[in-house]
Amino acid sequence: MDKIVNRKQQLRLFLTELISFMVIFSILGLIIFARFQQSTYANIDKGLEQRAAIVSKKPMLMDRPSDFKTITIYYDKNGKILNRDSLQRFSASILKVKGQTKDLNKTFSKQVGKATMRGVYVKVNADTQRHRLPAGVEKRNNIKNNDFLKNAKYAMVLQNITPDLQGINRFKNLLLAALILFGLLVFIISYIVSRINMKPVLKAWQQQQDFVDSAAHEIRTPLTIIQNQLEGLMTKPNDTIKDQIDPIIMSLSEIRRLNGLTSDMLTLARANSNAIAIKKTSVVVPEFMSEVLDPYQEFVQSEDKQFVIKTETTQSVMLDTKRINQLLVILLDNAAKYTMPGDTITVRTVIENNSLKIQVMDTGQGISDANKKRIFDRFYREERSGNKETGGNGLGLAIAAWIIKAHNGRIKVTDNPGGGSIFTVVLPIK
């Protein structure tokens, strides 16, 4: 089920990325193509308009060989072609292209057989009587005289734009090929990126899932105990509280456990959503430490354990006292939980390399190397005989790790040479 959900999410991410990239590339391709097409037509039209401007003022035969793509057709007022002789080398169908007086001066495209012609139809305003063809033109075009142009009323300038259109087409194909190639690249990149992007999401999702699973499990156990105890009480309605003190004590202890669990879970949930701000104030280290540690002195000694306090600094530092107090309580509770009568718990505080270093050392059961990293995971508890009775929920060190992270500090756990563990917390003070 989880796998299917993950696949679906990954696929959605992949498709979103792919489609976004493709849309961007397509728009880019379309813009480039439109610009290219537009500038090609603009160039052609500019040439045509220049030519049209000349012929409308001064009708002349300009169909020189170098300019074979462009033809100028002159018409008299009845629409009869005047320069038919000079146009013999062009196909008759070209000469059939007719201009409309309503479309004067407007460029247009027309398909003539296989060729595409672009043209402009203009009115000839010239005083054709005064016009003389340039020297050599008559000879080159085998024209005896230019009298035929004196009646010119309209002129059509036509250009064969088939090669230009082929150029546009070639460019379009090139662009399409580039798009397909980029599409393939994008396909591969999107796939890789979606996989990379999904990793932290999946990890967070899995953590969340595990957290909920473990939380439900942790809550169910005390609830079942309370339910059993209360149901047992219901079967003895005539007993006094004194008679049934054990189930009541057990239920209350489980309720206390549930209370602690929910408040720990709340702390972690709020820490996760950055809803808890760190408020640092200046504290004198020995004063702060004795405030936290003094209540433990009596408690630890009552369990026949030794409590040693080594505060080796008198400096003031900036700390979130509430959170550091919470951190120390977690470490001290653990030290007390996982030691036996006769063991020693030592708390050493020192300033080293611009950091406040706090070490909580015990001579207890110690932590196996394999578990040294995992004990900071939520709900992680070492599987050991006796661990169940300590009443922990596996959230303490996860909270400790968060508090240290919020202070930009570090925590590590090492073996105490004589047996037991050393938790070393380093908090930068600058």
Interacting residues toward ligand ADP by CB under 6 A: 330, 334-335, 337-338, 362, 364-365, 367, 375, 380-382, 387, 392-398, 421
Residue type, 51: R
Q: Copy the structure tokens of residue 399.
A: 């909270």
Instruction: Answer yes or no: are the C-beta atoms of 59 and 74 closer than 8 Å.
Output: yes
Locate tokens 């230009």: which residue? 164
d(C-alpha 151, C-alpha 129), whole Å: 9
The rounded radius of gyration (Å) of the Cα atoms in the chain is 46
User: Based on CB atoms, which residue is closest to ligand ADP, 120 or 400?
Assistant: 400
308 φ/ψ angles, rounded to the nearest 5 degrees: -115, 125
The order of strands in the sheet holding 410-415 is: 306-311, 344-352, 355-362, 421-428, 410-415
User: Based on CB atoms, which residue is closest to ligand ADP, 116 or 387?
Assistant: 387
User: Based on CB atoms, which residue is closest to ligand ADP, 37 or 326?
Assistant: 326
Strands (E) in 196-275, as ranges, are: none
**Minimum separation from the CB atom of position 181 to ligand ADP (A):** 54
User: Based on CB atoms, which residue is closest to ligand ADP, 10 or 346?
Assistant: 346
DSSP 8-state symbol, 278: -
User: Based on CB atoms, which residue is closest to ligand ADP, 107 or 421?
Assistant: 421
95 φ/ψ angles, rounded to the nearest 5 degrees: -70, -15
Instruction: Answer yes or no: are the C-beta atoms of 40 and 115 closer than 8 Å.
Output: no
**Minimum separation from the CB atom of position 288 to ligand ADP (A):** 22
**Minimum separation from the CB atom of position 406 to ligand ADP (A):** 17
93 φ/ψ angles, rounded to the nearest 5 degrees: -65, -30
**Minimum separation from the CB atom of position 9 to ligand ADP (A):** 31
d(C-alpha 200, C-alpha 383), whole Å: 29
Please work out, in degrees rounded to the nearest 5, the angle formed at the alpha carbon of residue 13 by the alpha carbons of 9 and 14.
115
Q: How many CB atoms lie within 10 A of CB 330?
A: 22
User: Based on CB atoms, which residue is closest to ligand ADP, 13 or 397?
Assistant: 397
d(C-alpha 99, C-alpha 80), whole Å: 12
**Minimum separation from the CB atom of position 3 to ligand ADP (A):** 30
d(C-alpha 61, C-alpha 86), whole Å: 8
**Minimum separation from the CB atom of position 16 to ligand ADP (A):** 39
d(C-alpha 123, C-alpha 75), whole Å: 10
User: Based on CB atoms, which residue is closest to ligand ADP, 155 or 335?
Assistant: 335
User: Based on CB atoms, which residue is closest to ligand ADP, 303 or 382?
Assistant: 382
Which uninterrupted H or E stretch holds 32? Answer: helix 2-57
Q: What b/e readout covers 48-64, taking b as 16+ CB neighbours within 10 angstroms?
A: beebbebbbebbbbbbe
**Minimum separation from the CB atom of position 318 to ligand ADP (A):** 26
**Beta bridge mates, 348:** 310, 359
User: Based on CB atoms, which residue is closest to ligand ADP, 262 or 387?
Assistant: 387
Q: Which residues contact 30 (CB under 8 A, 6 or more apart)?
A: none
Among 207, 206, 184, 203, which Cα is nearest to 195's? 203
**Minimum separation from the CB atom of position 359 to ligand ADP (A):** 12
Residue nearest to ligand ADP (CB): 392
User: Based on CB atoms, which residue is closest to ligand ADP, 155 or 367?
Assistant: 367
**Minimum separation from the CB atom of position 374 to ligand ADP (A):** 8
d(C-alpha 425, C-alpha 401), whole Å: 10
Residue type, 96: K
**Minimum separation from the CB atom of position 382 to ligand ADP (A):** 3
**Minimum separation from the CB atom of position 398 to ligand ADP (A):** 6
User: Based on CB atoms, which residue is closest to ligand ADP, 94 or 324?
Assistant: 324
